[in-house]
A and B are shown apart, each in its own frame.
Chain A
Amino acid sequence: MIVLKTEQLKKHFGEVRAVDGVDLSVDKGSLTAIVGPNGAGKTTLINLISGLLMPDSGKVLFLDRDITKLPIHARARLGIGRCFQIVNLYEGLTVFDNIRIPLISSKGIGGNMISSLDAKRSVTEEAHEILGRFGLLERKNMIARDLPHGDKKILDIAVAYALNPAMLLLDEPTSGVSTFEKTKVMELTRGLIKGKGITALVVEHDMDVVSSYSDKIVVLHQGKVLAEGPPKEVMENHQVRSVFLGVEK
């Protein structure tokens, strides 16, 4: 079953063809990696799918529904969660609140003005459970801004995960994370999303990370899909090697 599909998606910034006719289809429960050199259009593609940018032409279909024109929050409500290359948290609030906010949203209780949030057992328990899974429970009362960078990246993913999405868009989940921690972040993420059957689209430029953790790789180059398929196949593709790895033909 296909969860996400894009049809001839285009976004130009002046002369730059950031995304230039991309057809993409993502299978349910799979982890698809989008790779490509800097400026290949990876982040623009994620922005088009999550609604931060509107395409010049083409379509985005999510669970067979045309979401091309939907605003960000409506896509999130349909089940598209996303995390960010540059950590994007509620910096001034506690780690616990960072998780409670998406839970409030996914439970649809944001309009409730009369009950105490602290007395909402289901929110508290679920927040604790999620923090436990991401290994952040001990730091739940810390202000997000005071967390070390690695934990901030993990919390960023946890915020998107707490939305209980059908699909997660992860824009460089390991950027700025030390090599040792990269494995930790990726293993944790992969385990959690596979465990819940969440479909994931990951933007990454670290080839090692990509080849060991993804089911499928899509290579973008100058806004177009250069190659796609299982990691092994794509890694052996000559065109990909020349463009992406700088290996001569």
Chain B
Amino acid sequence: MGFAARIGLQRTTLVTYAVLVLILLSLPLYASRAHVFLAGKALTMAIFALGFNLILGYLGMVSFGHAAYYAVGAYTAGLLITRLSIKSFEIVLLSSVATAALVAGVIGFLCVRHTRIYFALLTLAFAQMIYAFLLKEYSITRGSEGIAGISKPEILGVALDYGNNYYYFLLLMFIASLVILKIIVNSPFGKTLQAIRENAVRSEFVGVSVPRYRWIAFVLSGMFSGLGGALFAPLNMHVSPELAYWTFSGEIVFITILGGHGIFEGPALGAFAFEFLKYFALGLTIYWLIIVGSVLIVIVLLFPKGIAGTLGDLVGKRWSK
């Protein structure tokens, strides 16, 4: 069995992947700097959303405080680069992901024994605590000013602040995250998460320690969220407490639903759709939130499977004819 097949990729999916990667690779050749920046932001959000969907799509639980882990990743990276002048992105990324894992580990441990609205509210409450910390702990986080002047570090000695290097690095990290998460969801562990989503009680009766699996998934999800944030910090060169605010946590729920939480790739698609929708809506009117809100209503009411799910159904119908 080839590698693609082993991680559950069919030929049509593989072709779609290749086309999308080619589009993203060639983007800097024809797109403006603003659009390349936007695509870079979308790539960090796509990593965030794919990680988030481990909880929403595979475990069936709504975390309303996932922005916290993106923020923890972003601040860790920002602080290491500005305060400690660390040039090696390897060290920065590893530390950021480890910090996000630690924070998600503690918060997750306290949240996963609860489900449904209780879980959502607990995750939200903890995220607001992180937000309060970032806002008030001025000596470390610079409060509402946030951390500015975050330069792009080096990876394996290659400068990332040159040309479109950083964008290409983001693309590489996105592909790596996509592959790793794809392997995880197709593993026995991934199937066990789906089992818990479908029927937690029955899972206990077949010997699955449900809270333990939920906790591990929560930590993994926090790690990818943290990675997204750590990659965002040098891209934006500035991080602020809003990254942990509840509206941003809502945004990742929106992105995941928009893209389709029932399909592995859906959230990544949702991240691109959302970032570009927001960008164009902002250009059209100051009431851009109305446009974004309307899109959400249409998606939830008419296309509950999101962009990816709906496209998948359309393609499926054509193929079966």
Contact = CB atoms under 8 A, between A and B. Distances in A.
Given A101-B191, A112-B189, A113-B184, A88 B199 contact: yes
Contacts of A106: 206-207
Q: Interface majority SS on B: helix, strand, loop or mixed?
A: helix
A92 B262 CA distance: 12
B206 A101 contact: yes
Interface string A102-115: 10111001111111
A115 B213 CA distance: 17
Interface string A85-98: 00011111100010
Contacts, number: 106
A102 B190 CA distance: 14
Interface stretch (A2-10, A73-81, A204-212): A73-81
A126 to B, nearest CB: 13
Interface in B164-217: 183-184, 186-192, 194-195, 198-199, 201-210, 213, 216
Among B184, B207, B208, B216, the most chain A Cβ lie within 10 Å of the Cβ of: B207
B8 interface: yes
Contacts of B190: 113, 117
Contacts of A163: 206-207
Given A89-B199, A111-B189, A116 B208 contact: no
A201 interface: no
B7 interface: yes
Given A88-B199, A88-B202, A119-B6, A109 B188 contact: yes
A101 B195 contact: yes
A110 B188 contact: yes
B23 interface: no
B14 to A, nearest CB: 15
Given A97-B191, A100-B191, A110-B192, A90 B202 contact: yes
Given A73-B208, A77-B207, A82-B205, A116 B186 contact: yes
Contacts of B34: none
A50 interface: yes
Contacts of B6: 116, 118-119
Contact of A101 (B1, B8, B203): B203
Contacts of A118: 6, 8, 186
A105 B202 contact: no
A92 B8 CA distance: 19
Contacts of B202: 88-90, 159
A105 B206 contact: yes
B24 to A, nearest CB: 26
Contacts of A102: 206-207
A227 B14 CA distance: 66
A249 interface: no
Contacts of B199: 88-91
Contact of B183 (A73, A77, A116): A116
A113 B187 contact: yes
B317 to A, nearest CB: 18
B205 A90 contact: no
B213 A117 contact: no
Contact of A120 (B8, B188, B210): B188
Interface of A: 50, 71-74, 76-77, 81-82, 88-93, 97, 100-102, 104-106, 109-120, 123, 159-160, 162-163
Given A101-B195, A117-B191, A160-B205, 12 more contacts: A74-B209, A88-B205, A90-B202, A93-B195, A97-B191, A110-B188, A113-B184, A114-B184, A116-B187, A117-B190, A159-B202, A163-B206
